[in-house]
Structure 1
Amino acid sequence: MSDTEDNANEFGSTERLNEVKSFITAKSNGTSDTNTETQRFTVDSEKLNEVAFEDAFKVTGHGKFNHLVLLTCGLILLNVSMETVGMSYVITAAECELRLTSHHKGMVTAAAFIGIISTSFLWGYLGDKRGRRAVMLPAMVTSAAFSVASSFSTNVWMLAALRFLTGCMVSASSATVYAYLGEMHCNTKRAAAIAWGSVFISFSFIILPGLAWLIIPGKWSFDLFGFTVVPWRVFIWSWCAPGLLGAMALLWLPESPRYLFSSCGPEKALPVLARMYACNHNSRSEKFPVEKITSAEVTKSGGFVGAIKNISLLFRPPLLRCVIISHTLMFAIFMLSSGLYLWVPDILNNMLHSTSNSSLTICQIIHEKFQAASNHTTLNVTQVCRSDVRTGVFAISMGMGAVFAVTYLAIGVFISKVGRKTLYSCIMVACGFCTVCAAFVPQGGAATALLVLALCSGCAASILAAIAVDVFPTCLRAMAMCTMYMIGRTGAAVGSNLLGATLNMHCQLAFSFFGVFTAGTTLLILFWPKPEVVRAKMEQKGLTY
């Protein structure tokens, strides 16, 4: 009996044996459908000849492996968010112990962002040079160590320095994770994967206030190696858990096959694709029905000088327009969402402590507190420091996180139906309008609701990442995403310090500026080029996607 007949007996018919070949042919002709792409192929003895990388990637299917990647990247994004915004709860609880002024609070909350900003270029270079996983894994463990160390701070300068170092390590995964997540999915599922992964960011806005509610109001303390540990210090320890879990998952996951294909060649990428296939189809790597991947010119960086030469492509057409638009928009997103969010627990605490019987705006309440503090200073009145946080702050913050989660989930559902640019524009214009209104509404409940809606602008970052990741070649993707988020974190640091300097005296002007600037920058999305055109031009230069 011939080999073909043996295979036909094993799989039921010769037609079944040729399903994989038909799949590749259909893909090359652009006639395959979703059902064909997700079929489970069980070819055992016959391998396909040399095929293109993208076709081989689609043969791996979409299943358990992709879900694990999504969960792992979600934990990493959760860790990044908790490390960067968690201090917004600590600064109120530690105000008396560390003698924090408004200036100190702004400095401490911005420290992690400054650390991310100052090292983003380095991590972007290393991510494209050494690999996505190789950069993220050690940095995540180190960031947890610095974060725990910051909980033992005895003064504001020690706390700010350690939060800066934590930010430096968090920077490695804050944007590289988007490149890794996107490269682990086929082109048709990439935007949805990034959107669903970003849902985990919203969980941080539920988990953080929940942990803070359980831990910070406690009046207990204990000694550890001669150091008195109080609740806010334990709170810092608690938010390190997602990052350590993500690091453990990365130990099992492989390097991005797209990165390996681009930097090392098809021989390195093929085993990873085979492993993905085996996991998704409950099979063995040996049954992966692709024998060889079409060779591509490996992108060699040629050391630091070669890397700089590659990076220079970001500042030349056709990528230059993409860089300017995406980086400016990310600055606006973070300035409003993260810059304002860092002050929200403090603002809510002031609102809940207000004893006025009349309806006051957020800005009037903040101004009253500032005036009262100034009067005490002028009259040399000795005032007992109070750093208690109203439990209502945590409840409202958890509700805020639930709104963010619903928004992220809605983005995951509608991003493919509505369109990325349309969905992004609608969210940012609506959030800018809510920001302006929040400062002028003389009713606490309505002002709080508007404040929550304004902060939903942060959800648009995932849409922008999905828009941007498609136009940057593999060898530049980590760098592009890192610099984009570097500019975004710059916006957060600028926003946080700008609000710290203006809330007391020019509150309504600050809110108005933030809202108008956010909504106004949305016009830039109209000038975003067609991804197909950009990709074609870059492929002509020998770069792969």
Structure 2
Amino acid sequence: MVATKTAVKFEDALSLTGFGKYNFLMMLVHVSIIMGMAFEIVSVAYLVPANACELDTTVSQQGFMAGTPLLGIIATSHFWGYLADTKGRRRILAWCMCLAFLFGASSALSTDWIVFSILKFLSSCSVAGTYALGLTLLSELTPQHRRSFMVSLTTTIYLSVTGLMAVISIPVLHLQFSHHMPLLNIEFSPWRLLCIVFAAPCALGAVGMYFSYESPRYLLSVGEEQKALEVLKGIYRINTGKSADDYDVTSLVLGEDTGAPSKGFWSSMLSQTVPLLKPPLLKHTLLLSVLFMIFHTGFNPYLTWLPYIIDGIMKSVVRGEENLSFCDMLRASHNETGTQTKDCSLNSSAMVTVFGVSVLIAVLNIVLSGVINCVGRKCLLICLQLTTGVVGLCINFSSSWVVSSVLLVVFMCGALNFGFLSTFSVDIFPTYVKAMAVCLTLMVGRGSSVLGINILKQMLVYDCELSFYVFGGLVFAGGVIAFLLPGDATDFTKESMET
């Protein structure tokens, strides 16, 4: 019996592959990618305080070291987005992970804070596009009816692995060893071992990408219809357990603009960028860039310095200073610990608390991701942003450090909007510029938080109360601007196809 040739749109063809084992396997691979990215970017929150004594760093130097990974994101996100849109998501992700492991592990041999900053800059350059590219690949391999849930779930993974870092740090940083390395004239101590541990997931991510499929949507957009069909058949076989021959699709239609072909590196990169900077995509590019900037600047600094904040509070409690306010405890801890007393250890209870906070927020994200289709992602995003903004403004109103700490945790729940806003990003743009667009908007957001990270550290030490008014107000403003977002992804899709 001869099979009937059936030409279908890509989204319909992807839906026919089902949602099952392959999608869960891809999520596991994506976990390793997110873990590698998070460990390289956020590791400074643990490594900078831990190496402050050995590298003899000042508050300003520590702020610069903590912001260096985000500078790497600014430097190369555009480049990785271009490569992913022209060379494929899978290949570029594999190279990113390999380079990140090389530079991340090498930071364990830093001779001073400058070398450490350079190596962290290079490792962050390597992982700059991994979150956005992984998100793009995951969305292009997931049927539309499950896509928002899977994409928003990545925030849960991100928050969970950042909390996991705190748990990993406890046993490693409390090891008692010091091995002198004459060639570099350094002491190989626990914080250096932690650098290698944090780099390890990048190697796992590279291996996972090697065994993964390329995005069938990308293959179709560059004219590789047969390869796209083979990928879809492979996904169908894994998800359903049936023979690939039972997949009744023999011809595909992308159903969107694939862009104009161009020759040469610069003209090609320009052709990937220009559509984002002119109608009909320009207003969406600007709106999402502004919102990512506000969201990341408002929450990322607190995520970065959370170990420092909780460590300061716990040390103050241990000293019996429970009658002080939240900010007074931080100032007292800064004066009593750190480089002034050569005590750069991190409080174990504080690290467990960081893990608990991260898991709590991650669980909340699972709950909200489950109801996102019922409530509506725009409504959910706005309500969360406005609520956390108000809570941030109210942290100083309590004289109890316990109440202020609880309010801080509630405020940080606004970081869940990173994932919810990303669900808009992956729906806005046509395939031929999607990776570039997601990378650029995330780059603007993360890049802007470099300034916030440095400002917050100075404020926590010298003007803690003002920090909550500044950052809380910024978060609230983001909630107001979010009213400009369209109510449904189809609004994006229709406009993006009208070129």
Q: What is the TM-score normalised by the length of structure 1?
A: 0.85
**Superposition deviation, residue 440 in structure 1:** 4.0
Structure 1 residues 300-311: aligned runs within 5 Å: 300-303=260-263, 304-311=266-273
Contact 2:156 2:365 (8 Å CA) reproduced: yes
Taking only the aligned residue pairs, the percentage that are identical comes to 26
Structure 1 residues 139-150: aligned runs within 5 Å: 139-150=96-107
Alignment-derived partner of residue 204 in structure 2: 245
After superposition, the C-alpha distances for 1:132-164 in whole angstroms (9 at most, x for unaligned) are: 112111111110110010111121101111110
* Aligned amino acid, residue 240 of structure 1: A
Structure 1 residues 17-416: aligned runs within 5 Å: 46-222=3-179, 228-294=187-253, 299-303=259-263, 304-354=266-316, 355=319, 357=321, 359-368=323-332, 384-416=341-373
Structure 1 residues 401-440: aligned runs within 5 Å: 401-440=358-397
- Name stretches of at least 5 consecutive residues in structure 2 with no aligned partner: none
Larger Rg: 1
- Name stretches of at least 5 consecutive residues in structure 1 with no aligned partner: 4-44, 377-381
User: How many angstroms apart in 2 are the aligned matches of 1:189 and 1:225?
Assistant: 55
User: How many angstroms apart in 2 are the aligned matches of 1:477 and 1:519?
Assistant: 29
* Aligned amino acid, residue 91 of structure 2: A
Superposed CA RMSD: 2.3
**Superposition deviation, residue 167 in structure 1:** 0.6
Structure 1 residues 2-13: aligned runs within 5 Å: 3=1
User: How many angstroms apart in 1 are the aligned matches of 2:453 and 2:142?
Assistant: 35
Contact 1:50 1:292 (8 Å CA) reproduced: yes
User: How many angstroms apart in 2 are the aligned matches of 1:468 and 1:69?
Assistant: 20
**Superposition deviation, residue 449 in structure 1:** 1.9
**Superposition deviation, residue 448 in structure 1:** 2.0
Contact 1:142 1:169 (8 Å CA) reproduced: yes
* Aligned amino acid, residue 287 of structure 2: I
| Greater Cα offset, 351-360 or 419-428 | 351-360
Contact 1:217 1:231 (8 Å CA) reproduced: yes
The change in CA–CA distance for 1:437 and 1:52 in structure 2 (over 3 A counts) is same
The change in CA–CA distance for 1:524 and 1:366 in structure 2 (over 3 A counts) is same
After superposition, the C-alpha distances for 1:98-121 in whole angstroms (9 at most, x for unaligned) are: 001111111111111110111111
The change in CA–CA distance for 1:435 and 1:284 in structure 2 (over 3 A counts) is same
| Greater Cα offset, 446-455 or 84-93 | 446-455
1:537 aligns with 2:499: no
Q: Secondary structure at the match of 2:218?
A: helix
User: How many angstroms apart in 1 are the aligned matches of 2:335 and 2:198?
Assistant: 36
Q: Secondary structure at the match of 1:318?
A: coil
The change in CA–CA distance for 1:250 and 1:370 in structure 2 (over 3 A counts) is closer
User: How many angstroms apart in 1 are the aligned matches of 2:342 and 2:485?
Assistant: 52
The change in CA–CA distance for 1:387 and 1:295 in structure 2 (over 3 A counts) is closer
Q: Secondary structure at the match of 2:53?
A: coil
**Superposition deviation, residue 310 in structure 1:** 4.1
User: How many angstroms apart in 2 are the aligned matches of 1:170 and 1:105?
Assistant: 21
User: How many angstroms apart in 2 are the aligned matches of 1:534 and 1:438?
Assistant: 37
State the structure with bigger RCO (CA 8 A, min sep 6), 1 or 2: 2
| Greater Cα offset, 285-294 or 257-266 | 285-294
Q: Secondary structure at the match of 2:83?
A: helix
* Aligned amino acid, residue 302 of structure 1: S
User: How many angstroms apart in 2 are the aligned matches of 1:389 and 1:440?
Assistant: 28
* Aligned amino acid, residue 365 of structure 1: M
How many residues align structurally? 491
| Greater Cα offset, 443-452 or 294-303 | 294-303
Q: Secondary structure at the match of 2:411?
A: helix
After superposition, the C-alpha distances for 1:428-481 in whole angstroms (9 at most, x for unaligned) are: 122222322334432222222222222222221110000221111111110111
Q: Secondary structure at the match of 1:360?
A: coil
After superposition, the C-alpha distances for 1:225-265 in whole angstroms (9 at most, x for unaligned) are: 86632111111211223222222121111110111111224
| Greater Cα offset, 60-69 or 494-503 | 494-503
Q: What is the TM-score normalised by the length of structure 2?
A: 0.92
The change in CA–CA distance for 1:533 and 1:366 in structure 2 (over 3 A counts) is closer
User: How many angstroms apart in 1 are the aligned matches of 2:342 and 2:335?
Assistant: 17
Contact 1:432 1:518 (8 Å CA) reproduced: yes
**Superposition deviation, residue 516 in structure 1:** 0.9
After superposition, the C-alpha distances for 1:293-341 in whole angstroms (9 at most, x for unaligned) are: 2477754541331441342221222222211221111112211222112
| Greater Cα offset, 214-223 or 317-326 | 214-223
The change in CA–CA distance for 1:195 and 1:225 in structure 2 (over 3 A counts) is farther
